[in-house]
Amino acid sequence: MTSTRGNVIFVCAAALALAALAAAWPEAALAQCPLCRSALQNDQTARTMNAAIVVLLVPPVSIFCAIFAVVYRKAKMDGEGENRRPEQTRK
């Protein structure tokens, strides 16, 4: 149990550090390909395009994370059943 809690804390700390790093260098975090940059000459249009890219990225990432969480919990529940002693299992 403690090892799992430690892993969760580590992953959260790593995600927070990555977010802080992205906030420290926003031009690298919001970079576009050269073709998109040349097509979007207006700075406001480029910002709007960057915001649209982030907004469109949120649903697929959320769906992936939800599926991963369900699979992880299912695997964890199946693994706990295998570690029980035979007298603890129901017949």
Contact 29, 23 (CB under 8 A): yes
Place of tokens 């799992």: 4
Higher pLDDT, 81 or 44: 44
Check residue 25 and report its DSSP letter.
S
Taking each continuous run of H as one helix and of E as one strand, the counts in the chain are 4, 0
Residue-wise pLDDT for 15-70, tens only, equals: 888 788 777 766 655 556 677 667 777 778 878 887 888 899 899 999 999 999 99
Within 10 angstroms of residue 15's Cβ, the number of other Cβ atoms is 10
Q: What is the pLDDT of residue 1?
A: 47
Contact 32, 49 (CB under 8 A): yes
- What pTM was estimated for this model as a whole? 0.46
